Amino acid sequence: MFAMIGALVFLGCPWRAALRLAGGDWNAILGLAGLAAGIGIGTLFLRGGYNLGRTQQTHHTAGWMLPLVMIGLLCLLLIFPQVPGEAKSGVLFYSVKGPGAMHAPLAVSLGVGLAIGFIAQRSRFCTMGAIRDFVLFRQMHLLSGFLALIVTALLVNLIIGQFNPGFEGQPVAHTMHLWNFAGMALSGLAFCLAGGCPGRQLFLSGEGDGDAAVFVVGMIVGAGIAHNFGLASSPAGVGPYGIPAVIVGFAVCLFIGFSMRKRIA
């Protein structure tokens, strides 16, 4: 939950931070620096014996729960498709303006999502793991994929004329640098303690990982809380309760990190 709250204070997950940087949004530099700092703090806990316990096999039904929920939501989307200009179709609500309304057609979204999911699952792509593995083991495998994402997006933006460097006037971004950094630092710490970034948790939940499914549900709940209780930021700046939420989030994550350590012999 706090991982999502931190990301919404910054206004983006690690993937979006990379894409913002590739588009010339220098505010993303603060976000990525915060992400690295948060993961760095998390690696200190890992070195100190932080452990969530051994992974155990359970009933297949547990692994199917989240995928079945997502399939159910997709069925609802097919039954109640969006009506142009309408905010509601059947039991579903749709965004008619803002970032939520700027989505690709369903067929394109499914096709691209399946392709990216397949590649990311096979390559173990993880933005948190990229930084964690480099810090702990000096391994570049995952980090090279993260850097490739940024470079590829940068080249595409340059080709199509969408590279607009600067801090001011960036889409869905604010210039409160301290909280850009702190929000993503909170997210990075939470990702490290949980064992994966949002994308990686989604892929793992699709593999039947129940822990990852709980994390995904927590992200959804965190997004709902952030948007409904004034925690999420906007282009005007951090939300009215975003700063206290980040401070509380750090306190909770640090408590978890310190209290869930096993002494290493």
pLDDT digits (tens, 9 = 90+) for 184-202: 999 999 999 999 999 999 9
Return the SS3 of 259.
helix
Query: pLDDT-based confidence at 263, cuts 50/70/90?
Result: low
pLDDT at 54: 78
- Please, what is the Cα angle at 148 between 142 and 151, to 5 degrees? 150
Q: What is the mean pLDDT of the segment spanning 154-166?
A: 97
**Cβ-contact 86, 94 below 8 angstroms:** yes
Domain boundaries in the chain?
2-52+65-71+109-259
More confident of the two residues 262 and 193: 193
CA dihedral 220, 21, 239, 41 (to 10 degrees): 70
Task: Using the Cα atoms of residue 186, residue 179, residue 126 and residue 61 in order, give the sign of their dihedral.
Answer: positive
CA 2 to chain CA centroid, nearest Å: 11
pLDDT band at 10 (very low <50, low <70, confident <90, very high): very high
Would you state the structure tokens that stand for residue 258, as one six-digit string? 């310190």
Q: What pLDDT score does 57 carry?
A: 84
Per-residue pLDDT averaged across 140-148, rounded?
95
Taking only the tens place, the pLDDT of each residue in 11-43 is 999 999 999 999 999 999 999 999 999 999 999
Convert the pLDDT of each residue in 89-123 to its tens digit.
999 999 998 888 888 999 999 999 999 999 999 99
